[in-house]
Amino acid sequence: MKTRRLVFLLLVSSLVVLWIAAGASHVTPWPSVAADAAYAPRSDSPSPASITVTDATCASIQSAIAALPVAGGRVLLPAGEYTCDTAVVIARDNVELLGEGNATVLRLTDNANAPVIVIGETTTPPPAMHRHIRVADLMIDGNRREQNHECWGGPCDQGGLSYIRNNGLTLRHVSDVVVERVTVTGARSGGLVAEKVSQRITVRDFTATDNEFDGLAAYQTENSLFTGLHLYDNLYTGLSLDLDFNSNVITDAVITGSGRHGIFMRDARDNVFDGLVIRGSGRQGVFLAQNESSTNAAKGNTFTSLVISGSADVAMQVADASCTDNLLSATQLVGNLGCVREASPGLLTQVGVLCRSMSGRLPIIIK
């Protein structure tokens, strides 16, 4: 009897083990560290192709970009000054252009009348969107005092390349582009300009100074991040945003010594500005307006944690009644000619805004 019971128990135990094993094949286990590692880059995967430029000219940089394999890769620029008779154009996907900080300088030659770097197609309108491009760790000198024209090759908007301004860095119809630790000085037009329907751009640790018009400008740009900006002593505007600049984030920026406006905005909606210092603007610190019609106004933008000081005019102006649903909060307006000027009262919602002179408060100005 005991032997039969023992055999029965052994048979039941075996069946239970088999049932658990079979069931386990249909159960997805919790991921382990080893399982997570399968989603990480393989340590034995091939590195991107890289080409080091040895001839210090932008023509050699262009040749290196063209020589990368179809899958893309990196073009490495050792320290030195690279002379540019015309623009470096990155009109292909999966390319990185990497220097060695401000010791790598791309300088436009006298009378070149060209941009320095163009990311995207040079045809207008651009026939294709390019993706996954990175430019990092270099300096661009646009040599603006030795250029004759704002646009590529001569007078603007006459066809062909003349639709492209002579910016330090131009982004045209691109997606998933990163620009980081780049300085642009002395461009004949703007420091960095994004345009022609671009998205998911990241610009960080970017410096622009002594550019003829804007330090940084963006048009037809959305879902992008601009952070860690130093925009100073640009002749017109530190930050210019227009023509469908929507749903972007601008954080941690210092904008000083702009010839006209710290920030100039038209046709820009639902953007967030956080942690900006704007000092010494030649006109208003922030200027909001419409572009041609009331449907193309600066609307629905949020400004948080700003300090606007030393403007030659008011700290912030809302120039058109169509500029509705803008919010200014947790902001100090210090030592400007006035505080806020609005086309009609109540256009700008203000929460926790302190307006003062260097020694005391100033009244809100509404005109």
The whole-number pLDDT of residue 357 equals 79
The better pLDDT of the pair 129, 11 is held by 129
Quick one: fold of 48-226? Pectate Lyase C-like (2.160.20)
* Domains of the chain, residue spans: 48-226, 236-367
> Tens digit of pLDDT for each residue in 116-168?
999 999 999 999 999 999 999 999 999 999 999 999 999 999 999 999 999 99
Give pLDDT, residue 7: 40
Q: How high is the pLDDT of residue 25?
A: 36
pLDDT at 21: 42
**Which residue type does 5 have?**
R
Flag whether pLDDT at 332 surpasses 50. Answer: yes
165-203 pLDDT, tens per residue? 999 999 999 999 999 999 999 999 999 999 999 999 999
pLDDT confidence of 47, banded at 50, 70, 90?
confident
pLDDT for res 360? 54
Whether residue 14 has pLDDT greater than 60? no
Residue 38 has pLDDT above 90, yes or no: no
Question: What is the spatial distance between Cα 189 and Cα 152, in angstroms, rounded to a whole number?
Answer: 10
**232: helix, strand or coil:** strand
pLDDT at residue 359, rounded to an integer = 56
C-alpha separations of 191 from 22, 60, 70, 147, 183 in Å: 65, 23, 30, 15, 9
Q: Convert the pLDDT of each residue in 221-249 to its tens digit.
A: 999 999 999 999 999 999 999 999 999 99
**What mean pLDDT is predicted for residues 321-331?**
98
pLDDT recorded at residue 22: 41
pLDDT at 41 over 60: no
Contacts by 319-323 with C-beta closer than 8 Å and gap 24+?
319/287, 319/288, 319/289, 319/290, 319/343, 320/288, 320/289, 320/290, 320/294, 321/294, 321/347, 322/290, 322/294, 322/295, 322/297, 323/288, 323/289, 323/290, 323/297, 323/298, 323/299, 323/347
pLDDT the model gives residue 341? 97
Pair 249, 276: CB distance under 8 Å: no
pTM: 0.85
Average pLDDT score over the chain: 89
CA distance 83 to 109: 6
Q: How confident is the model at residue 301, as a pLDDT?
A: 98
The pLDDT assigned to 356 comes to 93
Does position 20 have pLDDT exceeding 90, yes or no?
no
Please give the average per-residue pLDDT across 47-62, as a whole number.
Answer: 95
Tokens read off for 7 = 């055999």
Token pair of 306 as six digits: 């700003």
pLDDT digit string, tens, across residues 257-306: 999 999 999 999 999 999 999 999 999 999 999 999 999 999 999 999 99
Residue 363 pLDDT: 47
What pLDDT is stored for residue 177 in this prediction? 98
∠ CA 130-132-135, rounded to 5°: 100
Residue 329 has pLDDT above 60, yes or no: yes
